[in-house]
Amino acid sequence: MKEVSSRSIKLMDGFWKKRQDIVKNVTIKSVYDRFFDTGRVEAFEMKWKKGDENQPHIFWDSDIAKWMEGVALFDSITPENEEKIEHLIDLIEKGQEESGYFNIYFTVVEPEKRFQNRTEHELYCAGHLMEAAVEYYRLTGKDRFLKVMCKYADHIEKVFKIDRSAAFVTPGHEEIELALVKLYSVTGEKRYLELSKFFIDERGKTIEHTYGGFTDGLYDQCFLPVREQETAEGHCVRACYLYSGMADIARIYDDKELKNACEMIFNDIVNHKMYITGGIGSTHIGEAFTIPYDLPNRTAYTETCAAISLAFFAHRLQLIEPKAIYAEVIEKVLYNGFLSGISLDGKSFFYENPLEIIPELRERDVCIKEKPHSPITERLEVFGCSCCPPNVIRFVAAVGENVYTYDEDTVFVHQFMSGEASFDGMKITQETDYPLSGKVTIKYEGPAKTLAVRVPSFCEDIENENGYVYFDIEDGMETEIDFGSPVYFVESNPLVHENCGRYAVMRGPVVYCAEEKDNGKCLRDICIDSSAEIREEYDENYSLPVIYLKGTRRKKNHSLYYKKSDERDEVIVKMIPYFAFANRGEGEMLVWIQAK
C-alpha cells in the first residue's frame, strides 16, 4: 500500500476544513502564546541557571517541536509563524553541541546525566524535533533544521548503536522510532531506518529500568521482545508510539513477525481496551492500559494524545493492509475521543477525556486535604504537562493523511472529507458534508482502477466485502454513495460491568452525550425510550444536529431509600456530540445512558 500524504490533499468546505481553519487561525497562536508565557520558548535560549525560577522541564523541547511540526503540516505558513520557527531554529542551531547533541534540560539542568536516565524523555524530545524538522523542510524546502536534526540523529546512532555508551538501550518514552522512519523517508538515509529498527529490535530483550513502583517492563513495553508481545500494556501514548514505529518497520522491511505482533496488539486494544470514543487508557495511574473490559467512565484517563497515538498506529497498519477496522478506529478517534480534546473555539483543551462527569464527586473526599486524582471538568488553555495541545494542532493539520491509500490496482477511500487529492497521476475529488449526512460524491480523474470505498459499520444497507464496496472506475467517472446518518443505540460487552443496562447513542460515527446544561442533574437516572421518535435539529456550533429523544426520569424524592415505584416523569432528552462536551461551563455529562 502507498500513502497519500496530507500534503497531497486540499480539504474544502466541510467538517474538517472548519476544524483546520480554527486550528490554523486560533489554536496555533493560542498555544504558542501559552508556551511563550510559560517560558517554553525562552528555554531554547539555554540561559537557565541553577537558582533561577521556572526550571525547564524534560519535555519542553517536545512541546515546542510539536507546535512547529503542526504549523509546518499546513499547506501554507504566515510570515509571523515562519519568523517564530526560524528564531527557534536559530536557537536550536546555537544550542546544538559539536557532537550533535541537543536537549534543553540536559544542557542547563543536569548536563552530567546525558543519556543516563532512560525515563527522562531525552530521545522522545529528539524524535519530536526530528518530526518537526522533516515537516518544516517538506513545507518550505529549507533544510537548515533538517540538517541539525540529522546531525543529532547521527550522534544518537553513534552513542546508542555504534559505541553503546549510553546507560540504557531503548528509550523509556518511545517516539524516536517513528521519527527516524520519517527522517529516513525525507533524506533517504537508510542508517536512520536501521537505527529505528535497532531501537525496536532491542526493546524487551532485557527488562530495562523504569520509574520505581511500576511493574517490571509493563509500563514502558519492555516486558518481552516486541515480536513476542501480544497485548497492549502500560502507558498508552508510549505504547502506541512504539506500535506505530513497529508498524512502520514491519511494512518497510516486510517483517511478518513484527506485523503479526502489531495485529495482535491492535486487536487486543480494539476488542478489550478501547472506549467507544476511540479513547484508550483506563487509569490515570501510569496513564495506562489496565485489564480487558475495564473501561470505567468517570475516571477514564483517555488522554487526548493517547487517542491520537492510536490513530497513528491504525494509520500505519492501514498502510500495510487495508482492513476496514483500521479506518473505523481512526474514524472513532477523529469524531470522538480526539476531537473532545479541543474546545469548539480552538483555545482550550482537555488532557483527559472522561465519558462521564459528576462534578461534585471530585470533592467527595472531604476529610483529606489533597483529593485523589480525578479528571478536570473544565477545559484549560495550557497544562503543566502540555503535550496534548500541540499534538492536536499537528493531528488536525495532517488529518487528510487518513483518507486514501492505494496500490497498483486499487484506490482505497477510508475516510470522508470534502477535498481534492492529487497523487501519482490521479486526482480524486470528494464532495460531502459527512458526517452531517452520509452522502459522498467521489469524482475520479486518472487511469482505470478499482475504487474501494469503506462502508462505515453503522451503514447496514450497502453490501460490502469486509467493509469496502468496490467499483471499477475510469477517468472522469463520478460515484455517488449514501451511507445514511442513522441515530442508533450501542451496547458494550456484558463484561464491561459498568455499562450493563446502559447504551451509547450514536449518529453515524459520532458518539453523543447528555449534559446537565440541557437536562438538569442526575443524568444517570434518565431512561431513554429507544423505540420512540427521534428529532434532530441542526446546530451550527457542532456542524451537526443535536438530538432530542423521549425518555423518563424518576420524580424527586427526599428519602434516601424507598420502595420501588414505577411512577416516572416523561422528559425530552437533548443530546449533543460527545466531542463538544464541557463547552458551556461545568456540569454533569454522560455517554452511557439508560435505555429500554
Footprint (CB under 8 A) of a copy of itself, residues 489-518: 489-498, 500-504
Q: What is the spatial distance between Cα 404 and Cα 449, in angstroms, rounded to a whole number?
A: 14
CB closer to a copy of itself, 65 vs 274: 274
Question: Residue 186: left (phi > 0), alpha (psi -120 to 50), or beta?
Answer: alpha
| Nearest C-alpha neighbor of 158 from the set 121, 199, 195 | 195
Buried b (16+ CB within 10 A) or exposed e, 529-562: ebeeebeeeeeeebbbbbbbbbbbbeeeeeeeee
Q: What is the x/- site pattern for a copy of itself, positions 395-424, by CB under 8 A? A: ------------------------------
Residue numbers 44-83 binding a copy of itself by CB under 8 A: none
Q: Which stretch binds a copy of itself (CB under 8 A): 27-35, 154-162, 341-349, 551-559?
A: 551-559
CB closer to a copy of itself, 289 vs 581: 289
Q: How far is the CB of 454 from a copy of itself (least distance, A)?
A: 18
Buried b (16+ CB within 10 A) or exposed e, 21-41: ebbbeebbbbbbebbeebbbb
CB closer to a copy of itself, 196 vs 282: 282
Q: How far is the CB of 363 from a copy of itself (least distance, A)?
A: 7
How many angstroms separate the Cα of 351 from the Cα of each of 297, 337, 339? Answer: 15, 11, 11
Helix (H/G/I), strand (E/B), else coil: 29: helix
Residue from 369, 409, 476, 537 binding a copy of itself (CB under 8 A): 369
| Nearest C-alpha neighbor of 360 from the set 298, 284, 287, 275 | 298
Q: How far is the CB of 239 from a copy of itself (least distance, A)?
A: 10
**Contact call for residue 594 and a copy of itself (CB under 8 A):** yes
CB closer to a copy of itself, 73 vs 269: 269
Q: What is the spatial distance between Cα 62 and Cα 369, in angstroms, rounded to a whole number?
A: 33
Instruction: Answer whether 485's CB lies under 8 Å from 551's CB.
Output: no
Residue from 213, 384, 425, 476 binding a copy of itself (CB under 8 A): 213
Q: Which stretch binds a copy of itself (CB under 8 A): 103-111, 127-135, 432-440, 524-532?
A: 524-532
Residue from 132, 218, 417, 510 binding a copy of itself (CB under 8 A): 218
Report which DSSP code applies to 352: B
| Nearest C-alpha neighbor of 526 from the set 577, 593, 574 | 593
Q: How far is the CB of 267 from a copy of itself (least distance, A)?
A: 10
**Contact call for residue 233 and a copy of itself (CB under 8 A):** yes
Q: How far is the CB of 533 from a copy of itself (least distance, A)?
A: 16
Q: How far is the CB of 275 from a copy of itself (least distance, A)?
A: 9
300 contact partners, CB below 8 Å, separation of at least 6:
275, 279, 281, 282, 352, 353, 354, 355, 356, 375
Q: How far is the CB of 124 from a copy of itself (least distance, A)?
A: 18
In the chain, the amino acid numbered 562 is Y
CB closer to a copy of itself, 139 vs 288: 288
Q: How far is the CB of 295 from a copy of itself (least distance, A)?
A: 9
Q: What is the x/- site pattern for a copy of itself, positions 235-274, by CB under 8 A? A: x----------------------------------xxx-x
Residue from 53, 98, 112, 370 binding a copy of itself (CB under 8 A): 370
Residue numbers 153-192 binding a copy of itself by CB under 8 A: none
In the chain, the amino acid numbered 579 is F
- Which residues sit opposite 481 in a β-bridge? 440
Residue numbers 430-489 binding a copy of itself by CB under 8 A: 488-489
Q: What is the spatial distance between Cα 417 and Cα 415, in angstroms, rounded to a whole number?
A: 6
**Contact call for residue 556 and a copy of itself (CB under 8 A):** yes
Q: What is the spatial distance between Cα 456 and Cα 474, in angstroms, rounded to a whole number?
A: 24
Torsion of CA 250, 160, 239, 6, to 10 degrees: -60
Q: Are strands 527-528 and 593-595 parallel, antiparallel or unpaired?
A: parallel
Residue numbers 287-306 binding a copy of itself by CB under 8 A: 288-291, 293-294
Report which DSSP code applies to 207: P
Residue numbers 329-368 binding a copy of itself by CB under 8 A: 358, 360-361, 363-368
Q: What is the spatial distance between Cα 131 and Cα 17, in angstroms, rounded to a whole number?
A: 23
CB closer to a copy of itself, 307 vs 504: 504
CB closer to a copy of itself, 252 vs 490: 490
CB closer to a copy of itself, 163 vs 366: 366
**Contact call for residue 230 and a copy of itself (CB under 8 A):** no
**Contact call for residue 98 and a copy of itself (CB under 8 A):** no
> Which amino acids are annotated catalytic?
287, 387
Cell 487561525 maps to which residue?
25
How many angstroms separate the Cα of 253 from the Cα of each of 135, 257, 363, 529? Answer: 24, 11, 52, 53
Residue from 4, 169, 276, 582 binding a copy of itself (CB under 8 A): 276
How many angstroms separate the Cα of 267 from the Cα of each of 117, 258, 264, 314, 326? Answer: 33, 14, 5, 11, 10
Determine the length of the chain.
596
Residues contacting a copy of itself: total by CB under 8 A: 72
Q: How far is the CB of 243 from a copy of itself (least distance, A)?
A: 16
Residue numbers 105-144 binding a copy of itself by CB under 8 A: none
| Nearest C-alpha neighbor of 532 from the set 489, 568, 569 | 489
Helix (H/G/I), strand (E/B), else coil: 294: coil
Residue from 78, 185, 441, 530 binding a copy of itself (CB under 8 A): 530
Q: Which stretch binds a copy of itself (CB under 8 A): 172-180, 245-253, 541-549, 558-566?
A: 558-566
Q: How far is the CB of 211 from a copy of itself (least distance, A)?
A: 9
CB closer to a copy of itself, 403 vs 523: 523
Q: How far is the CB of 125 from a copy of itself (least distance, A)?
A: 23
CB closer to a copy of itself, 49 vs 558: 558
